[in-house]
Amino acid sequence: MTSVLIVDDHSIFRSGLRAELDPSLEVIGEAATVDEAVSLIASLRPNVVLLDVHLPGGAGGGGAEVLHRSSALLDVVRFLALSVSDSAEDVVGVIRAGARGYITKGSSGAEVSSAVAAVASGDAVFSPRLAGFVLDAFGAVAGERAERSDELDRLSAREQEVMRLIARGFSYKEVATELFISIKTVETHVSAVLRKLQLSSRHELTVWAQQRKLL
């Protein structure tokens, strides 16, 4: 059973989400502010935290602040960012602070549930828009390609292919069929991209982070 903590400042949204989540997910708590979220995460240790990007309280840092203050628990607790805005720029800050993926609040209950399951099992969740942003930010469209696998600032050829297909609206399963690889391999590629997104010091990424005062 996957335990879930919902962090969102709107009680209507929290209860709506709670009602829609798959029965295999157990909601063990709700938080409405940064401080509340940090203390609940520390005491409850949920498997997955559904984290709103825009959150009141604390020092005004929103979802990213929750991640920073809970960074010691990042190995145990996984974060899935929820945003009402579907602009990837809004979310890159949260991803870089440690979230394993993001979905928009317009997603259906089933979508949220499967995303939570993916994040709980250690995978990353990429929306088409985030994939498009990643392709852009890593210069993949301009033809930049990583030569070595340990390179953080560029994507490998395979990672680019996977990102492109996700941007075109493919599910992981469809990406796997299209590229004749296993779903596990697709997930490995996506996780690698997520790692690069979090650790890379590419100019395009640091600019976003700086604008959101996340560095």
Strands across the sheet with 102-104, in order?
Answer: 25-31, 2-7, 48-52, 78-83, 102-104
Going by C-alpha positions, the residue among 80, 94, 92, 203 that lies closest to residue 152 is 203
Minimum gap (Å) between residue 75 Cβ and another protein: 31
Beta carbon nearer to another protein, 117 or 181:
181
Burial 54-89 (b: 16+ CB within 10 A, else e): ebebbeebbbbbbbebbeebeeebbbbbbbeebebe
Site residues for another protein, window 187-206 (CB under 8 A)? Answer: none
Site residues for another protein, window 70-99 (CB under 8 A)? Answer: 84-85
Minimum gap (Å) between residue 42 Cβ and another protein: 26
Contact flag: residue 168 with another protein (CB under 8 A): yes
Contact flag: residue 158 with another protein (CB under 8 A): no
Contact characters 7-46, another protein, x per CB under 8 A: --xx-xx--xx--x--------------------------
Interacting residue ranges for another protein, rule: CB under 8 A: 9-10, 12-13, 16-17, 20, 54, 84-85, 104-109, 128-129, 131-133, 135-136, 140-143, 164-165, 167-171, 173-178
